[in-house]
Chain A
Amino acid sequence: MKLITHNMLTSNILKGVTRGFPLKIKADKMEHISVDYNRDFIARIIPRIEYDALRAAVNDLGLNESLPEAMSETLQQDDEFLKTMHKVLLEYEVEEGELICPETGRKFPISKGIPNMLLQETEVS
């Protein structure tokens, strides 16, 4: 699971959960897989990213990547920043671990790189 995937997931279908975002991440096994840098692609993705949630994920995983506190229009044109975003969003893969609902603590396993967000019927609102 890449961090871009994490950035798109919420647990608010759980009973009693309002936002369910961002999910916390715990990684037992992580990989770094290099992906060809495509400036246009990453620039197109960035407006769709919840930046604070991405920073929280970087922090949860203890990645040694420095993301500025706030995103700005100028930053979105900055090559260094785009390269860091490319690496953080597309190159880190959580192979084994779990996502955790920020409101209920419900755990969602990540196995062979794929998060399992399935719920029991009784858990759904």
Chain B
Amino acid sequence: MFPTPDLSHLTRNDYNQIYEPDADSFLLLDALELKLNEILEQKPFIIFEFGSGSGLITTFVAKHFCLTSCLFFAIDINPYACYSTKRTFQQNNLHKKHCLNIIQCNLADPLIDRLSSKVDLILFNPPYVPTETSDVKEVIERTYAGGKQGIEVIEKAIEQASRLLSSKGLFYMVALEENNFDTLKELANQVGLNIDIILKRRTLIERLFVVQFQRK
């Protein structure tokens, strides 16, 4: 098992502003590790993370899945998350090997045009909790509030991913049982993506799974 990136620079104060890595984050890391060979075979060069938060996932990938220098994009709507991602990448000494682009924005809105069909690996631990609306004010709420069925943000991300992915690119995302796999499959099919469950885990409070998307 790969060690978890060093997060010792992040304190309670930081976690009041950003999502603290939890069972869902670690499930995504485990799923990526399970797919290590498949990902390495693709030799990913451009890597994109939606909602990078602490920077744990981008940093983990940079450390273990990139043998040569890669071009990373990490976005978050929360400025504290953007700074934290930058700090975590530096704390783990990856900024000298790779180039990390951090942008405060909504999903891939300002990047879609230029990165269209160019991204080899996409990562997302989305706000998947069913709530009345995903349009909430507090940044910390926005880390989990997924709106109706928990899929309001997920739906947009799948659509954007279908435009960003390179021909053999891979997209890994965490989901909750209540998001409903059949719904996700329909969303994926609508935009020409295949979807497979690659790992499932039941935590104390949630039934989670990780899906892999790829162009048909």
Contact = CB atoms under 8 A, between A and B. Distances in A.
29 contacts: A2-B101, A4-B71, A5-B101, A5-B102, A5-B103, A9-B103, A9-B110, A9-B111, A9-B114, A10-B113, A11-B110, A12-B113, A21-B114, A40-B68, A40-B69, A48-B46, A111-B79, A112-B83, A114-B104, A115-B103, A116-B104, A116-B105, A117-B103, A117-B105, A117-B109, A117-B110, A118-B104, A118-B105, A119-B109
Nearest to B46: A48
Interface string A1-42: 010110111111100000001000000000000011010110
B155 to A, nearest CB: 16
Contacts of B112: 10
Contacts of B145: none
Interface string B36-48: 0000000001100
Interface residues of B, number: 27
B114 A115 contact: no
B199 interface: no
Interface of A: 2, 4-5, 7-13, 21, 35-36, 38, 40-41, 44-45, 48, 50, 90, 111-119
B46 to A, nearest CB: 8
B112 to A, nearest CB: 8
Q: Is the interface of B mostly helix, strand, loop or mixed?
A: mixed
B73 A8 contact: yes
A111 to B, nearest CB: 7
Contacts of B115: 8
A4 B112 CA distance: 15
